[in-house]
Amino acid sequence: MQTPLPYLVIGADHAGFEYKEAIKKHLADLGYAITDMGTFDAVSVDYPDFAHPVADAIERGNAQMGILICGSANGVAMTANKHAGIRAAICWQLEIARLARTHNNANIICLPARFVALPYAIQMTEIFLNTPFEGGRHQLRVDKIACS
């Protein structure tokens, strides 16, 4: 029996808009269910306005994993990581995307649109979504992330 695909939520600011649209289409073609939290064009916007709804959806259990994209990925990662239970990881290499899942059980991938090519961003996203958490000694570390 095949494992069901995770329900995803995606968001981006103006710098990540083009990547968001391409990644969303690619993943939808693969059968993923995706909710788009915006932005819906390339007009300049504030990244927290899109990072908070993505993190909220995961925090509330309305989505299992998320994708956030901005110019550097720093802003969306910092914003998302303010939410309880969110582990947003900035990924710029394939191995970083894999390790974010296997070692950190990250639930949001943050992509720097101004620093990685779109095909590479798509590949990192696929790796992130298809890599399971190893648990074990890594679970002990992940359990120490949240502030009480």
Catalytic residues: 70, 103
- Which residue has tokens 């073609």? 29
Q: State the DSSP H helix or E strand holding residue 8, giving kind and residue range, or none if neither.
A: strand 8-12
4: number of Cβ within 10 Å: 9
- Interior/surface letters 22-51, b for 16+ CB within 10 angstroms, e for the rest: ebbebbeeeebebbbbbbeeeeebebbebb
